[in-house]
């Protein structure tokens, strides 16, 4: 049952978003303070799946990790900026789209890679590296690309990123290392908690901004769809251009196309209070990348033989076992 609930993550996100549009009070009780804590729970859940051994993956496959990191922070931020300008989005929506493009990989990408027969160990390592890299990359890229639209306080963005990313992930990593029994006990229920938190975050934001979502629905949906669909495609072919085998290309594609939209939503709320619409693309992003990623995973799973990457210790082993018993999304 827990596994089914987790694997239906895209369904719950879409359902929550639709219900929030139809009747916002169902979710608006989950206020801005709760959203920040919800994201912290998601990031903590990611942290407990990591071990120090997982970062040795960077040494085992440095080229793949490097290409994944560079492609993520090269493709998605500039896609967000380009689409915002091409569609002439209003300032709030433009900043929100750029911000979500500058966020790290979404941790749901690990489960999508498992389902789509990607390289799970590489996926976990790439997600961890992009998450820690976001502490610097997200504020700097947002300042650079969105700074021409509105003033961006890169220092405030940096501090908020440390609070909502580094602190909970580091805590989870410490728990995994020093309290392994507690981690193993929590692991089976962590995915369901993460799914619930993400759905509440997305639905609450959509509910709070429901009139604005309806008003700009056409252009907004097109912008977010283009951001993620182009991210998946360009991520795949960027890795292919670097002459990686298909399993690596699929992994990079999913890592590039799936963003930590929850982080984008929290950063938008905290750092752009004068632009309340900036949070909307982040919420819509969670729906789109979940659905597109899941469809891609199903397509690749149907077309390809069993995964060629074996189990690797630490997070990837835990992820594979928990994905069989109850999967692991987040954001």
Q: Show the domains of the chain with their CATH numbers.
A: 31-325 (1.20.1530.20)
Helix, strand, coil shares of the chain, percent, nearest 5, are 80, 0, 20
Predicted confidence (pLDDT) at residue 126 exceeds the cutoff of 80: yes
If you search the block for the tokens 């509105």, which residue do you land on?
A: 150
Q: Is 318 helix (H, G, I), strand (E, B) or coil?
A: helix
Instruction: Read off the pLDDT of each residue in 274-301 and give the average, rounded to a whole number.
Output: 84
| pLDDT value of position 76 | 95
Cα–Cα distance for residue pair 259/134, rounded to 1 Å = 11
pLDDT confidence tier of residue 79, bands split at 50, 70 and 90: very high
283 is written with which tokens? 């919420």
* Cα 72 to the center of its chain, rounded Å: 11
Cα–Cα distance for residue pair 87/12, rounded to 1 Å = 29
Instruction: Read off the pLDDT of each residue in 299-324 and give the average, rounded to a whole number.
Output: 49
pLDDT confidence tier of residue 318, bands split at 50, 70 and 90: very low
Predicted confidence (pLDDT) at residue 253 exceeds the cutoff of 90: yes
Cα–Cα distance for residue pair 316/310, rounded to 1 Å = 10
pLDDT confidence tier of residue 54, bands split at 50, 70 and 90: low
Report which DSSP code applies to 105.
B
* 163, 184, 212, 217, 227 from 74: Cα distances, Å: 24, 36, 30, 27, 13
Report which DSSP code applies to 150.
S
Cα–Cα distance for residue pair 6/318, rounded to 1 Å = 15
pTM score over 0.85: no
Say which residue, 317 or 277, is predicted with more confidence: 277
Predicted confidence (pLDDT) at residue 271 exceeds the cutoff of 60: yes
pLDDT confidence tier of residue 57, bands split at 50, 70 and 90: low
């Amino acid at each position: 049952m827990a596994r089914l609930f987790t694997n239906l993550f895209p369904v719950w996100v879409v359902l929550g978003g639709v219900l929030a549009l139809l009747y916002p009070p169902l979710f608006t009780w989950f206020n801005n303070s709760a959203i920040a804590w919800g994201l912290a729970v998601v990031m903590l859940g990611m942290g407990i799946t990591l071990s120090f051994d997982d970062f040795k993956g960077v040494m085992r496959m440095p080229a793949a990790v490097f290409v994944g990191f560079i492609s993520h922070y090269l493709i998605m931020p500039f896609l967000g900026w380009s689409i915002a300008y091409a569609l002439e989005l209003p300032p709030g929506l433009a900043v929100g789209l750029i911000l979500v493009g500058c966020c790290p990989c979404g941790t749901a990408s690990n489960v999508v890679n498992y389902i789509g027969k990607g390289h799970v160990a590489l996926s976990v390592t790439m997600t961890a590296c992009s998450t820690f890299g976001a502490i610097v990359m997200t504020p700097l890229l947002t300042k650079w690309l969105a700074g021409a639209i509105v003033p961006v306080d890169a220092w405030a963005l940096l501090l908020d990123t440390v609070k909502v990313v580094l602190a909970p992930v580091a805590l989870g990593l410490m728990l995994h290392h020093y309290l392994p029994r507690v981690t193993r006990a929590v692991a089976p229920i962590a995915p369901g908690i993460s799914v619930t938190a993400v759905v509440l975050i997305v639905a609450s934001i959509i509910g709070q901004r429901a009139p604005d979502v309806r008003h700009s629905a056409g252009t907004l949906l097109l912008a977010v769809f283009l951001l993620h669909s182009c991210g998946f495609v360009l991520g795949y072919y960027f890795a292919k251009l670097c002459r990686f085998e298909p399993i690596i290309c699929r992994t990079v594609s999913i890592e590039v196309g799936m963003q930590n939209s929850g982080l984008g939503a929290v950063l938008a709320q905290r750092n752009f209070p004068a632009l309340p619409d900036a949070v909307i693309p982040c919420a819509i992003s969670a729906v789109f990348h979940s659905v597109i990623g899941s469809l891609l995973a199903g397509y690749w799973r149907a077309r390809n033989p069993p995964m060629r990457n074996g189990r690797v210790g630490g997070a990837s082993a835990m992820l594979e076992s928990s994905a069989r018993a109850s999967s692991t999304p987040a954001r």
